[in-house]
Amino acid sequence: MSEGGFRYFLPAYLIADLQDRLQTADTVFHLTNRFSDNVVKIPAGQRIYEKAIGKSAFVNPRRYGAMTWRDHARYRLFVFTREEAVAIVAYLEYKRDADPHELNAEEINAALDNFWRDRAATGPSHQAVRQHLKEEA
C-alpha cells in the first residue's frame, strides 16, 4: 500500500486491533519493523552464513544505493503529523505494556526510541500542514 493509503487506513486498523477484531494484519510490525538489527543464520553447505537484517542492512544497493531499511522505514512513516505520531506512540506503548510475554517489546522500544518519540515531539503539526495547503491554494 502507498504511504498515503497506509496513513489513511491506519486508524481503522489501530481501532480494530485495540478491539481485538483484527484478523490478519499486524499493525505493530508495520509501525516498528526495520528499527532494530537482527542476524539470521542460513545453512550454506558445510558452513553457516550469518546475514544481517534490519535497520542497517541495505535495501537493494544496485537500485537504491546506500539506502538502508531504517531509511526506507523512516521515509514511509514521515507521512504522519505530530498529532498522529502522538497517537501511534500511545498505541505502541499500550501494546508493549499489555503483552505479558513481551514478544514485541524490543522492536517497539527500538521504533519508539529511533523514530516515533521524536516524530511526536518535532513533526509538523496538522495545523502546519493545513496552513501550507491554504497558502499553496
DSSP the chain: --HHHHHHHHHHHHHHHHTT---S--HHHHHHTTSSEEEEEEEETTEEEEEEEETTSBS-HHHHTT-BHHHHHHHHHTTS-HHHHHHHHHHHHHHHHH-TT-TTHHHHHHHIIIIIHHHHHHSPPHHHHHHHHHHH-
Q: Residues 84-109: what's their mean pLDDT?
A: 96
> Letter for the amino acid at 93?
E
pTM higher than 0.75 for the full model?
yes
The pLDDT score that the predictor gives to residue 46 is 93
| pLDDT(1) > 90 | no
Rounded to the nearest integer, the mean pLDDT of the chain is 95
More confident site: 53 or 67? 67
User: What is the pLDDT confidence band of residue 34, given thresholds at 50, 70 and 90?
Assistant: very high
